[in-house]
Amino acid sequence: MTEDLLGRHRAVLPDWLALYYQDPLEITHGEGRHVWDAEGNKYLDFFGGILTTMTAHALPEITKAVSEQAGRIIHSSTLYLNRPMVELAERIAQLSGIPDARVFFTTSGTEANDTALMLATTYRRSNTILAMRNSYHGRSFSAVGITGNRGWSPTSLSPLQTLYVHGGVRTRGPYASLGDDDFIAACVDDLKDLLGHTRPPAALIAEPIQGVGGFTSPPDGLYAAFREVLDEHGILWIADEVQTGWGRTGDHFWGWQAHDRSGPPDILTFAKGIGNGMSIGGVVARAEIMNCLDSNSISTFGGTQITMAAGLANLTYLLEHDLQGNARRVGGLLIERLRAVAAQVPGVREVRGRGLMLGVELVKPGTDEADPQAASAVLEAARAEGLLLGKGGGHNTSALRIAPPLSLTVAEAEEGAAILEHALRSTIQ
Ligand code: PMP
């Protein structure tokens, strides 16, 4: 059945829609941290948490809120007063840490970043943007234009002038051997060097931990050090929290807080999991920045009552159940367990990340060379044993990405780690 669907998929959908697995999966339903495919196979989902389902699959509290709202009204989100949108905006404004915050809802992370770029360029009257090497910010024309990860940047044309800053990765290359302080100093020098050769940029956009880039964590303090330089020039800081927000990193509610000497960003973007599968994206900015646009700008589906109902139910659940604390505790156990495995499997170069956002970087054993084939093989082997993982990384997708729903239990973390260990040992010789 899945095979037939694959043929039909290939016949009508674009070639550039990448599917995981040689025999792609059709996921038909889920519950908690598990999903099932069309053939009835059950999988522990170590990736869906960052894609869509931040909290848990088919969570009754959210299903109820969504179906009740669907039975009441879904109408224009912006032309009339919209109570769930106001309520969710109030909560996000308060949680964001941004003073005098205004919130605008979109339907995706791409549209959120696009809006952030429109705000920053208009506010600063500059179409030059600083972005990080290896970054990913979405698929619209302007978001692609600031995406440093060339594997995810399908056109080289851009309406923006983009300058790429070092700081995202130090797995290999000239910065690989540097300690944290020297790495930060080298990246700050690189930033200063760029600023010396350009018109004043509007903003630096950065993911506190790079997502598509393979869950690479810059050292704490990197963005605080950048911020000092940016502030001297009045350049805005846009934190793309599409993957790092809502407690996923365990120690912090937002990824930027790991760099908190930098203070809150000028603009923060979010998306993915906050709707637990319903499409919510958004931008938070100080009022003077949010209100700098010249005329009306609405989004038909951004902030619809049904997505806002999902967001409110999801946010309530995750705060009441302290899922940030769960990410810290369970993620802490998981990273320890995986680092112990890494010490014994020669092809695992590092296990990195925070909370329930962990990356496992694979190299050809005994070398520093990225091993994307090994990453694909481990992904397949884990799937065969009932575990879904993600892949990511710079030019080579040589990192495994682990991002389960935030309600992951200790027993499930142990089960997933055991499968992953077996998949690594059986794949990497
Ligand atoms: N920013 C980051 C950091 C992302 O990881 C993504 C999606 N992978 C996006 C933006 C784009 O979000 P969307 O796919 O919802 O447009």
Distances (CA, A) of 255 to 171, 231, 248: 20, 20, 8
The alpha carbon of 419 and the centre of ligand 1 are apart by a number of angstroms equal to 28
Q: How far apart are CA 249 and CA 243, in angstroms?
A: 9
Residues 285 and 163 in one domain: yes
Return the ligand 1 atom nearest residue 207 CA. 3
Question: What is the model's pLDDT at position 220?
Answer: 86
Partnered with residue 264 across adjacent β-strands are: none
Same domain assignment for residues 338 and 412: yes
Residue 175 alpha carbon to ligand 1 centre in Å: 27
Task: Output the pLDDT for position 2.
Answer: 53
Instruction: Quote the pLDDT of residue 297.
Output: 87
277: CA distance to ligand 1 center in Å?
14
Q: Ligand 1 centroid vs 51 CA: distance in angstroms?
A: 9
Ligand 1 mean position, distance from CA 165 (Å): 19
Look up the domain containing 358 and give its range: 2-59+322-427
Read off the CATH number of the domain in which 206 is found.
3.40.640.10
Q: Are residues 348 and 232 in the same domain?
A: no
Choice from 147, 272, 279, 280 to test ligand 1 binding pocket (greatest atom count within 8 A of CB): 272
Closest ligand 1 atom number to CA of residue 211: 5
Kindly give the confidence (pLDDT) of every residue in the chain, 429 residues in length, as a single tens digit, with 9 standing for 90 and above. Answer: 456 999 999 999 999 888 999 999 999 999 999 999 999 999 999 999 998 999 999 999 999 999 999 999 999 888 899 999 999 999 999 999 999 999 999 999 999 999 999 999 999 999 999 999 999 999 998 999 898 887 777 666 778 999 999 987 777 777 888 999 999 999 999 999 999 878 899 999 999 999 999 999 888 889 999 999 999 999 999 999 999 999 999 999 999 998 767 689 999 999 999 999 999 999 999 999 999 998 888 899 999 999 999 999 999 999 999 999 999 999 999 999 999 999 999 999 999 999 999 999 999 988 889 999 999 999 999 999 999 999 998 767 899 999 999 999 999 999 999 999 999 999 986
- The protein residue whose alpha carbon is closest to atom 13 in ligand 1 is 109
Probe residue for ligand 1, chosen from 47, 243, 274 as the CB with the greatest number of ligand atoms within 8 Å: 243
Which of 305, 320, 335 terminates a domain? The answer is 320
Is the domain of 302 the same as that of 355?
Answer: no
Residues 55 and 70 in one domain: no
Ligand 1 centroid vs 111 CA: distance in angstroms? 9
Pocket of ligand 1 (CB under 6 A): 108-110, 113, 136-138, 207, 211-212, 240, 242-243, 271, 281
Residues 355 and 265 in one domain: no
The pLDDT assigned to 244 comes to: 96
Number of structural domains the chain divides into? 2
Please check whether residue 24 is in contact with residue 6, taking contact to mean a CB–CB distance below 8 angstroms: yes
Tell me, yes or no, whether 143 and 289 share the same domain: yes
Which DSSP category does 252 fall into?
Answer: -
> What is this structure's pTM?
0.96
86 Cβ contact list (under 8 Å, min separation 6):
none
ipTM over 0.85: yes
Where among 320, 344, 364 does a domain terminate? Answer: 320
